[in-house]
Amino acid sequence: MINAAKSGPTLQRPTTPEIIHPVRNRPSSYSHERKVSVCEVYEALMNKRSSWKQFRRYRSHPSDVGMSLPGMQNARNQINRHGGRDQILVIDDYESMIEHRRNVKETARVISYSVKVSDKDGMDLYFASDSCNPQKCQNSSDVEAKIRNKVTVSGCCDMKKCLEDVMDQVKANGTKPTGIYIFTDGIWDPEHKPEVKDVIHESIDLLIKKNAKPADLMFQFIQFGRDPEGSKRLKFLDDGCKRTHRGVEYDIVDTKHCDDHVPKIIIGSISKHNDNDD
């Protein structure tokens, strides 16, 4: 009977029709996941407010909102896998960013919500125009409110000075594992824009001196708008500020656009695959 079954006609499986994803839902090249936008996660966070009683009823922790979206929980896990991390958000608040104010506010809310669990003593929020006075934020709502209430400053951003102030604080805190998310268009003070790379190289020197891992410090530039000069500048920092020391590659800078897959923005240069995925 078995032989008869083997010699019988072969059944043809029906072919699965090809699915053409809309542009916003096409799988990203990172882990073959569909793209998750800032808007999608932000909407989930806003819906959380109206569903608060439901979360309490089913004992679902509010910090889990949005984590069921593709790649989100994995990104949070990768951040946590490296132990407790200080999380720093740097906001370019100069006039060239005025058209992106709402997008910056919502993106910062999403990113800070996703990474806050790894920073037990609260996140540090820096505004580029006042980088000597960071503000402590215990949650993502606080981050969003402070950005919403900040007045845009005239002139050009001195990103070098800003990141120097940030790194001074990192060193004062004992150079603990730190993620630095910089929200900017890349349009900076022309007198200082080439010198931002110096801050990166000095940060690599610090890691080597402390015998720390490359993943212990991350600069994640998140670009708003598509200014050609700004894009070129950020790409240079991403591609041109790497160094190898005793066989270990120190690639601590990543650049993503605010429209990119949110988990890729969160992970930044912590994952080498993610950093090379553009």
Give me the pLDDT at residue 85, please: 87
pTM exceeds cut of 0.75:
yes
Q: What is the pLDDT of residues 60-74, one digit of tens each?
A: 455 788 899 999 999
Residue type (1 letter), 249: E
Residues of the chain with pLDDT under 70: 1-31, 49-62, 82-83, 192-193, 272-278
Give me the pLDDT at residue 28, please: 42
- Residue 127: closest CA among 98, 177, 155, 163: 163
Give me the pLDDT at residue 270, please: 81
- Residue 272: closest CA among 223, 213, 212, 215: 215
Give me the pLDDT at residue 4, please: 46
Q: Which residue is associated with the tokens 């060239």?
A: 96
Give me the pLDDT at residue 27, please: 42
Give me the pLDDT at residue 79, please: 84
Give the list of residues 6+ apart from residue 257 with CB closer than 8 angstroms, or none: 222, 223, 226
Residues in the chain: 278
- Residue 34: closest CA among 274, 234, 240, 264: 264
Q: Is 10 left (phi over 0), alpha (psi -120 to 50) or beta?
A: beta
Q: What is the pLDDT of residues 215-241, one digit of tens each?
A: 999 999 999 999 999 999 999 999 999
Give me the pLDDT at residue 183, please: 99
Domains in the chain, start-ordered, CATH in brackets? 38-275 (3.40.50.410)
Each as own residue / partner, the long-range contacts of residues 189-195 (CB below 8 Å, 24 or more positions apart, any chain) are 189/155, 189/156, 189/157, 189/158, 189/159, 190/156, 192/158, 192/159, 192/160, 192/161, 193/159, 193/160, 193/233, 195/160
- Residue 84: closest CA among 57, 112, 117: 117
3-state SS record for the chain: CHHHHHHCCCCCCCCCCCCCCCHHHCECCCCCCECCCHHHHHHHHHHHHHCHHHHHHCCCCHHHCCCCCCCHHHHHHHHHHCCCCEEEEEECCEHHHHHHHHHHHHHHHHHHHHHHHHCCCCEEEEEHHHCCCCEEECCHHHHHHHHHHCCCECCCECHHHHHHHHHHHHHHCCCCCEEEEEEECCCECCCCHHHHHHHHHHHHHHHHHCCCCHHHEEEEEEECCCCHHHHHHHHHHHHHCCEEECCEEECCEEEEECCCCHHHHHHHHHCHHHHCCC
